[in-house]
Amino acid sequence: MRGIYTAAFLDRLVTQFARTRGVESLDLGKGFDLITGTSTGAIVGCALAVGRPMGEIVKMYRDHGRQIFPHRIKGTASAIWRMFVGGHYVRKGDHVLRKALSDVLEDTTILDVFQKRSISLSIPAILMSSHRSWVFKKTPKSGVRDDHYKLVDICMASSAAPIFRSLAAIDDPNNDHGVEQVFADGGLWANNPIMVGLTDALACAPAGAAIQIFSLGTCSRPEGELIPARKVHRSILGWKMGADAAALSITAQEFAFDNMARFIGNKLTELGRPVTRLRFPNKDVPAEMMKYLALDDARPEAVKRLIQQASNDADIAKSACDDPNNADGRMVKALMMSLPEMPKTGVKMETTT
């Protein structure tokens, strides 16, 4: 559900720059050669890639969130209840999410995006038949394996978070025998996909070309626990049937991969291959936001508060863009001022069959 923060942040920032430029809207997806996103980030990233306005994605989360997550895991009692009836909830949510994604992404394939929008995509998931990482990918160097996967299926696969959602059983477009492949959430190994993006950028960008990475999170909660030694014997209920372990993994990955990307980018820059990394917003989350940041919190008050926080953070980002002495602001402003115009209703893509 925190993807609504990302979509609302981008919607607010793009809207302000569109007004500055005196146009209806801006095609943010066309500002990038490569877009990568994991789980809820895959949904936002694919919507950008096909030229959908971010306001439409905010509406998708707001209208369907309660049906996608009809039962929130909020404590030990709810975790125990989920153990017995969870299959009903995730099955219902799976159907609603697929329908919502289909309304936005239609039958567009990853090849359609590459051919008709000149945008590469790299979307992490896990292939359950081998328990190995999988990246749905179409770039100038990627080959044809994933060409005919639909973006709806890719998003279902990348966001198939264990405990919270169903696994994703999707048709294998390379097989004519009705075979399905089952995938789990890419966030189990690449919740922060910055290293996936950097790897593909290095593989695809012309030799010596500068690489700019714009990394946007989902209003990640400040984490950490001071645990007395006598409290370390935490078992399955202490982890809310695994829900808290998932949140721990997400936070640890975000920090680790950001720092790896920073280190590698700095070294590449020293070696003459400029890599610039910008993560925004980069301010601390207000303490009162903590109660609204669960991955499955679709309550109206949580949705409203995430949108409000995104709007506040976007306003701060715009102020940085208006400050000529702010290096990050200059980088974002240069991107926004270079974007092509698009209608407020978005781009209408013709798809292949």
Output the domain CATH number for residue 248: 3.40.1090.10
The full DSSP string for 178-247 is: --EEEEEETHHHHSSTHHHHHHHHHHHSPTT--EEEEEE---PPP------GGG----TTTTGGGHHHHH
**111 by DSSP, 3-state: which?**
helix
Residue 12: both structure tokens together: 């607010």
Question: Can you give the pLDDT at residue 79?
Answer: 60
Tell me: pLDDT of 257 over 80: yes
Tell me: pLDDT of 15 over 60: yes
Over residues 289-304, mean pLDDT: 80
Is residue 94 among the annotated active site residues?
no
Answer whether residue 322 is part of any domain. Answer: no
Answer whether residue 329 is part of any domain. Answer: no
Answer whether residue 352 is part of any domain. Answer: no
Q: Which of 115-124, 208-217, 249-258 has the highest mean pLDDT?
A: 115-124
Q: Which of 11, 25, 39, 313 is catalytic?
A: 39
pLDDT band of 84, cuts 50, 70, 90? low
Over residues 294-298, mean pLDDT: 77
Using CA atoms, how far residue 55 sits from 12, 209, 220, 346, in Å, is 9, 33, 21, 10
Answer whether residue 19 is part of any domain. Answer: no
Question: Can you give the pLDDT at residue 178?
Answer: 78
Answer whether residue 78 is part of any domain. Answer: yes
Is residue 297 among the annotated active site residues?
no
Using CA atoms, how far residue 311 sits from 236, 314, 317, in Å, is 38, 5, 10
Element (H, E) at 68: helix 54-68
- Mean pLDDT, the chain, as a whole number? 88
Tell me: pLDDT of 163 over 80: no
Residues 199, 225: contact at Cβ < 8 Å? Answer: no
Domain that includes residue 88, residue range? 2-7+31-219+237-302
Answer whether residue 131 is part of any domain. Answer: yes
Answer whether residue 194 is part of any domain. Answer: yes
Tell me: pLDDT of 82 over 70: no
CB atoms closer than 10 angstroms to residue 166? 22
pLDDT band of 247, cuts 50, 70, 90? confident
Question: Can you give the pLDDT at residue 352?
Answer: 56
Residues 301, 292: contact at Cβ < 8 Å? Answer: yes
Q: Which of 11, 112, 185, 297 is catalytic?
A: 185
Tell me: pLDDT of 150 over 80: yes
Q: What is the pLDDT of residues 207-238, one digit of tens each?
A: 889 999 999 887 666 667 778 888 888 777 77
Answer whether residue 297 is part of any domain. Answer: yes
Over residues 12-16, mean pLDDT: 96
Please give the torsion angle defined by the CA atoms of residues 102, 103, 105 and 109, in that order, rounded to the nearest 10 degrees.
40
How many domains are there within the chain?
1
Name which of 186-195, 252-261, 284-293 the model is least confident about: 284-293
